Amino acid sequence: MNIKEMFIRFWRSDNEKVSLVRDVFVAVLAVLVVLLVLWAYTGQWFAAPMVAIESGSMEHNNSPFGRLGTIDAGDMVLVQKVYTKDDLITHGGNFGGASEKEDPSNFFYGDWGDVVIYKPLGREDVSQIIHRLMCWVDVNTEGETTYTIAEYGVLNETSINIPELGLRNSKPSWEHSGYLTKGDNNKVIDQISDICPQPIKIGWISGKARLEIPWLGTINLFFEDIISGKNTVSNVHEDSLICLGLVIVILVSIPIILDVKDYLRDKKNRET
225 pLDDT more than 70: yes
Distance CA(9)–CA(215), nearest Å, equals 41
Instruction: Specify the range with the lowest mean pLDDT, choosing from 7-11, 104-108, 136-140, 176-180.
Output: 7-11
Q: What is the pLDDT of residue 136?
A: 98
223 pLDDT more than 70: yes
Distance CA(92)–CA(74), nearest Å, equals 28
Longest dimension (CA), the chain: 95
The residue that leads in pLDDT, 256 or 68, is 68
28-53 confidence digits (pLDDT tens): 888 889 889 888 888 888 888 999 99
* C-alpha distances out from residue 161 to 61, 188, 222, Å: 26, 12, 42
Mean pLDDT of the chain: 91
Query: Above pLDDT 90, what percent of the chain?
Result: 71
Distance CA(40)–CA(45), nearest Å, equals 7
Q: What is the pLDDT of residue 48?
A: 83
Distance CA(150)–CA(6), nearest Å, equals 67
166-214 confidence digits (pLDDT tens): 999 999 999 999 999 999 999 999 999 999 999 999 999 999 999 999 9
Distance CA(220)–CA(226), nearest Å, equals 10
Q: What is the pLDDT of residue 26?
A: 82
DSSP states of 162-176 as a string? EGGGTEEEE-----S
Q: What is the pLDDT of residue 9?
A: 73
Q: Is 41:79 a contact under the CB 8 Å cutoff?
A: no
Dihedral sign for Cα atoms in the order 154, 160, 163, 169: negative
